[in-house]
Amino acid sequence: MIAVEDLIELVRTYNPRTDEKLITAAYDFGREMHEGQCRHSGEPYFSHPAAVAAILAEQRLDDATIVTALLHDTVEDTRASYAMVAERFGPEIADLVDGVTKLTKLQLSSTETQQAENFRKLFIAMSKDLRVILVKLADRLHNMRTIKAMRPEKQLKKARETMDIFAPLAGRMGMQWMREELEDLAFRVINPEARASIIRRFITLQKEAGDVIERITGDMRLELDRAGIEADVLGRAKKPYSIWRKMQEKEMGFSRLSDIYGFRVITRSEEDCYRVLGAIHRRWRAVPGRFKDYISQPKSNGYRSIHTTVSGRDGKRVEVQIRTQAMHDVAETGVAAHWSYRDGVPSENPFAVDPARWIATLTEQFDKEEDHEDFLEAVKLEMYTDKVFCFTPKGDVVKLPRGATPIDFAYAIHTRIGHACVGAKIDGMRVPLWTRIKNGQSVEVITADGQTPQATWLDIATTGKARAAIRRALRELDRDRYIKLGRELARSAFEHVRKRATEKALTTAAKTLRLTDANEVLARLGSAELTARQVLNAVYPDIVPDDSNVVGRDRAVIGLGRNQSFERARCCQPLPGERIVGITFRGKGVVVHAIDCASLSQYEDQPARWLDLQWHAGKHPAAYDVTLDVTIGNDAGVLGRICTLIGEQKANISDLTFVDRKPDFYRLLIDVELRDAEHLHGIISALDAESDVASVERYRDPARAGGGMKH
């Protein structure tokens, strides 16, 4: 049990002006009132209120909250009364203790009707003074930390209540650290086998891959140092429950999960947040659809941060949160930031919003609900901040991102419904299509035959599904006109570089741009979604040599030990820009393989020989041999044109071997010296566009495993 001197010292670290006599008096009073009482573990009961007070002190809360924690069970469990507490400690603290007592008496996991009524009382109590719920959450946290002393059936009941009510409530109030810990403690009780399995897999992963967090944190610090940005980098593995929930949502096993590590970068200024983002995206590839800027668009509870997910070492996805220290304080403590102290005075955090307004608005809204089930549904919906749950006229639930409109709702039901939408009703009232849908509303889509999507809908829709469907429909409406215009634009652009916009060239462009066919390329070109230069570069990349700052062989690979040399593996011929791994050989240095090389399987049982490597991000000389497997028509001048085409792409042919001669086709292996993977992609695209080239692909032969390739 924490001693009163230690508790006061903990408070004094952030509030030197703390009222030590008040805290000492509350400590002595609470210990006296609970004298003779014991917890299930056999410890003195007062160890619990003292621990709750310590949890709140760690959140840097005011004296009144600390004292309330010390006294929060006295009125309920001892001979102490409201009047006695008010007389000794004043009406403010007496009201807080009374509020916590009333919350404790609520059986939140009772029947649905009682649960709704108790929720109503919970929010009313919170609206009077939010410090009541702060004490209650700390009380629940300590009880969950010590839950093993309870009977198994009591443990399960408390754990479910924590998972359903207290953890989401902590998250809704911005106290993410508490939400995560409450969820994980409850998960330990509800599904101990799943939690243990995830922890075992983490341990195995750490043995196989080493300390990934330390390595990635080091990489990030190095990049920030290079950019001249002063910031703190913190890394951690995500909690077992968070990982388990992802496995359930995505329906995949642990081994297929990638973003199981999270990193935070704490900067000195808001401007540095965006500089850090740039540095990280320059160094690692950003994962599409996983970027959110909560600095420019804060959450309703004051949360501010930039979120991005990048592909880190070995292709592992890592989530990065970037924020200032003031933003971090709000992100960690949520509503507790309103009563936190710095240097003896309440801290004024510019990013903290007054959550009392949210509680007051919520209570007012719920007071209007007479139906218990509607009230309970409204409460549960309000716990989730980034989603809107609305209903179809038949009562089916539709989940949309916050800010969604009836257009998004219509396309969420079916693309055909979206295309035919002419209006909408929300809760029976006709509304404009740009209306933002709120939690719990019923939405009805009005459709009409012959209706087609309008271009203005793109400014109204917020979901990717709706916007993509609208774009597709708009393209189809003018597709023929766009194809004709696109064909003329393509002809002009290709003739400008003395090429022809043949069907095969356009098909090659479609493959490179990941479009369905040549007509799709032309349609997008005609609708200005693609530029002529983009189409041209997809077939004949515009490579302009620049020999300044070329990376020499001694600096080409990062991650080698001092005096270690490297050779490229013959089997996979890795190029700069591709993910690589090194295998050590005695007297031979390191042989570098592409990460997907089939030859690596023979070293799986020798992890000590593996090195985590990467290519230098600078410009490399065209000195890396790669073998191309090319089949060409057996006509006069074809081979000469192929060699000329490779030369036009600023690549040198170092060797050429005929492996198959037929009356109408030749198959040959061509060794070309390239700069990087992008250079290779340009060569293959240019060859593939030629009508006399039947096929072209990169040649890889596992039988040629080992080093020895030229650099």
Q: Decide if 694 contacts 665 (C-beta within 8 A).
A: yes
Q: Decide if 454 contacts 395 (C-beta within 8 A).
A: no
> What pLDDT does residue 373 have?
47
> What pLDDT does residue 257 have?
55
Q: What is the DSSP string of 145-176?
A: HTGGGS-HHHHHHHHHHIIIIIHHHHHHTT-H
Q: Is the dihedral of CA 464, 466, 467, 470 positive or negative?
A: positive
Tell me, which fold does domain 386-475 have in CATH? Ubiquitin-like (UB roll) (3.10.20)
Task: Please state which CATH number belongs to domain 545-711.
Answer: 3.30.70.260
Out of 19, 20, 58, 77, the active site residue is 77
Q: Decide if 411 contacts 461 (C-beta within 8 A).
A: yes
Of 360-374, 537-551, 616-630, minimum mean pLDDT range: 360-374
Pairing outcome for strands 589-594 and 285-286: unpaired
> What pLDDT does residue 654 have?
80
How far is it, in rounded angstroms, from Cα 254 to Cα 373?
A: 37
Cα-to-chain-centroid distance, residue 572: 33
Is the pLDDT confidence value at 119 over 70?
A: no
* Each residue's pLDDT tens digit, 418-446: 999 999 999 888 989 999 988 778 899 99
> What pLDDT does residue 348 have?
60
Q: How confident is the model at residue 542 (pLDDT cuts 50, 70, 90)?
A: low
What residues are paired with 673 via a beta bridge? 625, 652
The conformation of residue 664, written as its DSSP 8-state character, comes to S
| pTM to 2 decimal places | 0.51
* Each residue's pLDDT tens digit, 89-107: 888 888 888 888 877 765 5
How far is it, in rounded angstroms, from Cα 71 to Cα 99?
A: 12
How far is it, in rounded angstroms, from Cα 337 to Cα 510?
A: 54
> What pLDDT does residue 350 have?
62
How far is it, in rounded angstroms, from Cα 511 to Cα 685?
A: 9
Share of the chain above pLDDT 90, in %: 16
Residue with tokens 């930390």: 145
Is the pLDDT confidence value at 711 over 90?
A: no
Q: Is the dihedral of CA 375, 377, 378, 379 positive or negative?
A: positive
Is the pLDDT confidence value at 593 over 90?
A: yes
Is the pLDDT confidence value at 167 over 80?
A: yes
* Each residue's pLDDT tens digit, 207-235: 665 677 788 888 889 989 998 999 999 88
* Each residue's pLDDT tens digit, 196-208: 887 887 777 766 6
Pairing outcome for strands 693-698 and 624-633: antiparallel
Q: Decide if 576 contacts 626 (C-beta within 8 A).
A: no
**Which of 127, 77, 56, 131 is CA-nearest to residue 100?**
131
Angle at CA of residue 424, ends 421 and 429, nearest 5°: 165
> What pLDDT does residue 419 have?
92
Mean pLDDT of 444-458: 88
Angle at CA of residue 452, ends 446 and 456, nearest 5°: 90
Give the phi and the psi of residue 251 in degrees, each rounded to 5.
55, 55
Amino acid in the structure at residue 615: W
Is the pLDDT confidence value at 599 over 60?
A: yes
Q: Decide if 557 contacts 580 (C-beta within 8 A).
A: yes
**Which of 161, 125, 126, 119 is CA-nearest to residue 143?**
161
Q: Decide if 48 contacts 73 (C-beta within 8 A).
A: yes
* Each residue's pLDDT tens digit, 48-79: 999 999 998 888 888 889 999 999 888 888 88
Return the CATH number of 4-190, one of 1.20.120.1200, 1.10.3210.10, 3.40.50.150, 3.10.20.30: 1.10.3210.10
How far is it, in rounded angstroms, from Cα 23 to Cα 12?
A: 11
For the beta carbon of residue 429, count every other beta carbon within 10 angstroms. Answer: 9
How far is it, in rounded angstroms, from Cα 534 to Cα 494?
A: 12
How far is it, in rounded angstroms, from Cα 673 to Cα 536?
A: 23
Q: Decide if 419 contacts 410 (C-beta within 8 A).
A: no
Give the phi and the psi of residue 315 in degrees, each rounded to 5.
75, 5
Give the phi and the psi of residue 697 in degrees, each rounded to 5.
-155, 160
Q: Is the dihedral of CA 620, 623, 628, 632 positive or negative?
A: positive
Give the phi and the psi of residue 174 in degrees, each rounded to 5.
90, 0
Told to judge if 77 belongs to the known catalytic residues of this protein, a careful annotator would answer: yes
> What pLDDT does residue 664 have?
79
How far is it, in rounded angstroms, from Cα 407 to Cα 454?
A: 11
What mean pLDDT, rounded, does the chain reach? 80
Out of 9, 58, 76, 629, the active site residue is 76
The conformation of residue 552, written as its DSSP 8-state character, comes to P
Rg (CA), the chain: 33
Q: What is the DSSP string of 404-457?
A: --HHHHHHHH-HHHHHTEEEEEETTEEE-TTPPP-TT-BEEEEE-TT----TTH
**Joined tokens for residue 329:** 């304080």
Q: What is the DSSP string of 488-540?
A: HHHHHHHHHTT----HHHHHHHHHHTT-SSHHHHHHHHHTTSS-HHHHHHHHS
> What pLDDT does residue 313 have?
59
Mean pLDDT of 258-274: 85
Q: Decide if 669 contacts 657 (C-beta within 8 A).
A: yes
How far is it, in rounded angstroms, from Cα 523 to Cα 521?
A: 6
Share of the chain above pLDDT 70, in %: 83
For the beta carbon of residue 191, count every other beta carbon within 10 angstroms. Answer: 16
Residues whose CB falls within 8 Å of the CB of residue 370, separated by 6 or more in sequence, listed in order: none
How far is it, in rounded angstroms, from Cα 108 to Cα 111?
A: 9
How far is it, in rounded angstroms, from Cα 38 to Cα 603?
A: 59
Q: Count, in order, helices (H) and strands (E) of the chain.
A: 29, 22
> What pLDDT does residue 253 have?
56
Is the pLDDT confidence value at 185 over 70?
A: yes
How far is it, in rounded angstroms, from Cα 318 to Cα 157?
A: 35
Do you know the residue count of the chain?
711
Is the pLDDT confidence value at 12 over 90?
A: no
Amino acid in the structure at residue 376: L
Residue with tokens 């040399």: 565
Of 41-55, 338-352, 534-548, 635-649, minimum mean pLDDT range: 338-352
Q: How confident is the model at residue 456 (pLDDT cuts 50, 70, 90)?
A: confident
How far is it, in rounded angstroms, from Cα 189 to Cα 51?
A: 21
* Each residue's pLDDT tens digit, 298-355: 876 677 899 998 886 566 678 899 999 888 887 777 766 655 655 555 556 666 656 5
Q: Decide if 672 contacts 654 (C-beta within 8 A).
A: yes
What residues are paired with 389 via a beta bridge? 399
How far is it, in rounded angstroms, from Cα 612 to Cα 584?
A: 11
How far is it, in rounded angstroms, from Cα 120 to Cα 108?
A: 11
> What pLDDT does residue 22 have?
92
Q: Decide if 133 contacts 339 (C-beta within 8 A).
A: no
Mean pLDDT of 36-40: 85
Return the CATH number of 194-346, one of 3.30.460.10, 3.30.360.10, 3.10.105.10, 3.50.30.30: 3.30.460.10
User: CA of 232: how far to CAs of 265, 292, 302, 352, in Å?
Assistant: 6, 21, 22, 22
In 272-396, DSSP assigns E strands to 285-286, 292-293, 306-311, 317-324, 341-342, 345-346, 387-391
How far is it, in rounded angstroms, from Cα 77 to Cα 79?
A: 7
